[in-house]
Amino acid sequence: MTCVVIVGCQWGDEGKGKIVDLLTEHADIVARFQGGNNAGHTVVFDNRTYILHLIPSGIFRKGKLAVLGNGVVVDPIALLEEIDGLQAKGVTVGDNLRISDEANLIMPYHKAMDKLRETLKGAGKIGTTGRGIGPAYEDKMARGGVRFSDFRGNGRKDLCGRLKSIIEEKNVLMRSHFHTDAFFDVGEIYDQYAALYQRIMPYLCDTSVLLNEAIDAGKAVLFEGAQGTHLDVDHGTYPYVTSSSTLAGGACTGCGVGPTKITDVIGVAKAYTTRVGEGPFPTELTGQAVGELLQKRGQEIGATTGRVRRCGWFDVPLVREAVRLNGMTGLAITKLDVLDTLEHIEIAVGYRDREGEILTSMPHHAGAAAELVPEYEELAGWESSTRGLTKLSALPKAARRYLDRISELTGAPVVLISTGPSREETIVVESVF
Ligand code: GDP
Ligand code: IMO
Ligand code: MG
């Protein structure tokens, strides 16, 4: 039995898609457990680039099963567009995809509320992806969510009644709180979503049963996290976070698999740090030459919203905390090649707070975190190309030292090193499966 969870160590976009695609070669099943189409996971092979938002990044591997667990919030319109888009590119999406019938749906009013709320917040906005993720999770927790299973058989009658009261409440909010004329029609939404359900129905099943039976039969499962540790709703830089449990523990609740089944947790971390949206970022270099260089060489543009990503130095306390929160057994360091031209590289090893106190971890309160000044350690750059390297022995000495120092300070071994976007541009230090 091998069940590996892949999660991001920073604020998302660490290269999880690439690592999941790579590791799916050794897995039987790849499952998403949280988030929705706020994610943008890039997979590159055979000179083609694919960006996935909902469908697991293992979908390209023949003979593997892709699963969307109960913890994912699904926008059925976005899901069908993604399936159609992949099929149009010749990618098989059919019997190799299974979706939990207990997954909650992103409804039209969730998307509207996400955008309206951000506009109302003005300068205090979170910088969400505008996909309705927060409002959908709110309704799930408030027991006012809609699930695929609600459309099944007799359940439909109950759904009509529930939808009526849910939507009436949204319409009141639209007028009184958001001051818009937006109006949601119960009948229209029901008909539209019932039709979407019909198209998605062939993919639906009890994915917890499916996964547990597969695990019991000795199959290998890869759990694909979205977002990153510091966007987690409990442990991230609250309130500048997403609305789901992005940590490895989320794989259990988000897929209906017990914690005793998880064998490994691999954290994906960029060799530097990026963030999209608002929120504290102590090592940020926006507006400085190195920040611009990282942004340009790393092509740091959001895969979902097309926003320019904020860039900065590698932040040890951030990743060390990710190692602790996720119980990480290994790190996959990506985008090492982006640092190739630098003479010196800095890593933050702690911070100084407002009173000048040294901190070795980031305060969770966003206000306090925003005031931190990083304490840096300087390391020599390697000033030569690591792009596309596949052997550890081929890495320049200074690059080895950089990775060794990261491993030493964060407390987790580096098991994979990514040296380019493509599947084969990877150094396998230790095999994960
Ligand atoms: P995810 O959300 O964690 O899957 O990451 P994204 O796909 O949003 O962003 C990662 C970006 O970095 C994508 O454009 C990848 O193609 C690219 N990428 C991944 N690994 C590497 C690497 O080792 N080197 C370089 N240069 N690019 C990489
Ligand atoms: P992947 O899986 C980076 C950020 C948004 C915003 C905050 C809340 O590609 O790593 P939301 O729409 O979730 O309510 O937005 O979270 N965010 C991400 N940042 N990568 C992601 O996903 C993200 N998903 C959400 O920018 O700051
Ligand atoms: Mg991404």
List the pLDDT tens digit at each of the 433 positions of the chain: 799 999 999 999 999 999 999 999 999 999 999 999 999 999 999 999 999 999 999 999 999 999 999 999 999 999 999 999 999 999 999 999 999 999 999 999 999 999 999 999 999 999 999 999 999 999 999 999 999 999 998 888 899 999 999 999 999 999 999 999 999 999 999 999 999 999 999 999 999 999 999 999 999 999 999 999 999 999 999 999 999 999 999 999 999 999 999 999 999 999 999 999 999 999 999 999 999 999 999 999 998 889 999 999 999 999 999 999 999 999 999 999 999 999 999 999 999 999 999 999 988 888 888 899 999 999 999 999 999 999 999 999 999 999 999 999 999 999 999 999 999 999 999 999 8
Exposure string over 227-241, b if 16+ CB within 10 A, otherwise e: bbbbbbbebbbbebb
Clarify whether residues 211 and 181 are in a common domain.
Answer: no
Of 145, 172, 200, the domain-final residue = 200
Whether residue 237 has its Cβ less than 6 Å from ligand 2: no
**Residue-range definition of the domain harbouring residue 328:** 268-428
Is 91 within a domain? yes
Residue 160 CB coordination number (10 Å)? 14
Whether residue 134 has its Cβ less than 6 Å from ligand 2: yes
Clarify whether residues 288 and 366 are in a common domain.
Answer: yes
Cα distances from 8 to residues 48, 59, 83, 286, 396, in angstroms, run: 24, 20, 25, 22, 26
Contacts of 21 (CB under 8 A, 6+ apart): 43, 45, 57, 58, 60, 61, 423
**What confidence score (pLDDT) does residue 100 get?**
98
Ligand 2 centre to CA of 240 (Å) is 10
Is 433 within a domain? no
Whether residue 35 has its Cβ less than 6 Å from ligand 1: no
Q: Which of 335, 386, 389 most suits a substitution to test ligand 1, by most atoms within 8 Å of the C-beta?
A: 335
Is 401 within a domain? yes
108-121 and 155-176 helices, crossing angle to 10°: 20
Whether residue 267 has its Cβ less than 6 Å from ligand 1: no
Ligand 2 centre to CA of 305 (Å) is 9
Cα distances from 256 to residues 206, 211, 372, in angstroms, run: 10, 8, 39
Sign of CA dihedral 132, 133, 134, 137: positive
- Measured from the CA of 231, which atom of ligand 2 is nearest? 16
Split into its structural domains, the chain has a count of: 3
Clarify whether residues 20 and 158 are in a common domain.
Answer: no
**What confidence score (pLDDT) does residue 225 get?**
98
Nearest CA to ligand 1 atom 14: 42
Whether residue 70 has its Cβ less than 6 Å from ligand 1: no
Clarify whether residues 235 and 331 are in a common domain.
Answer: no
CATH code assigned at 274: 3.90.170.10
| Cis peptide leading into residue 259 (ω within 30°) | no
Which residues hold their Cβ within 5 A of ligand 3, which is an ion? 13, 40, 303
Of 179, 200, 221, the domain-final residue = 200
CA separation for the pair 109, 89 (Å, rounded): 31
Whether residue 337 has its Cβ less than 6 Å from ligand 1: yes
Clarify whether residues 306 and 410 are in a common domain.
Answer: yes
CA separation for the pair 46, 30 (Å, rounded): 21
Is 318 within a domain? yes
Ligand 3 centre to CA of 162 (Å) is 35
**Could you list the active site residues?**
13, 41
In 3D, which of 409, 272, 412 has the Cα closest to residue 334?
A: 272
Beta-sheet pairing, 414-418 with 426-428: antiparallel
**What confidence score (pLDDT) does residue 363 get?**
87
Separation of CA 376 from chain center: 28
Beta-sheet pairing, 97-100 with 65-68: parallel
Clarify whether residues 163 and 284 are in a common domain.
Answer: no
Residue with tokens 């809609």: 146
Contacts of 171 (CB under 8 A, 6+ apart): 183, 184
**What confidence score (pLDDT) does residue 364 get?**
82
Residue with tokens 């998403």: 32
Clarify whether residues 319 and 289 are in a common domain.
Answer: yes
Whether residue 221 has its Cβ less than 6 Å from ligand 2: no
CATH code assigned at 189: 1.10.300.10
Clarify whether residues 116 and 72 are in a common domain.
Answer: no
Ligand 2 centre to CA of 51 (Å) is 15
Specify whether the CB–CB gap between 282 and 315 falls below 8 A: yes
**DSSP at 392:** G
Ligand 1 centre to CA of 190 (Å) is 38
Exposure string over 341-366, b if 16+ CB within 10 A, otherwise e: ebeebbbbbbbeeeeeeebeebbeeb
Whether residue 76 has its Cβ less than 6 Å from ligand 1: no
Clarify whether residues 93 and 34 are in a common domain.
Answer: yes
Cα distances from 44 to residues 18, 59, 200, 423, in angstroms, run: 7, 13, 27, 6
Is 218 within a domain? yes
Ligand 3 centre to CA of 355 (Å) is 36
Clarify whether residues 167 and 253 are in a common domain.
Answer: no
**What confidence score (pLDDT) does residue 367 get?**
85
CATH code assigned at 44: 3.40.440.10
CA separation for the pair 118, 232 (Å, rounded): 19
**What confidence score (pLDDT) does residue 366 get?**
83
Ligand nearest to the CA of 336: 1
Q: Which of 275, 334, 385 most suits a substitution to test ligand 1, by most atoms within 8 Å of the C-beta?
A: 334
- Measured from the CA of 303, which atom of ligand 1 is nearest? 8
CA angle 165, 169, 170 (to 5 degrees): 120
- Measured from the CA of 226, which atom of ligand 1 is nearest? 2
Size of the chain in residues: 433
Residue 270, Cβ density class (10 Å: 0-12 exposed, 13-18 middle, ≥19 buried): buried
**What confidence score (pLDDT) does residue 1 get?**
79
pTM > 0.85: yes
Contacts of 428 (CB under 8 A, 6+ apart): 415, 416
Residue 172, Cβ density class (10 Å: 0-12 exposed, 13-18 middle, ≥19 buried): exposed
Clarify whether residues 117 and 235 are in a common domain.
Answer: no
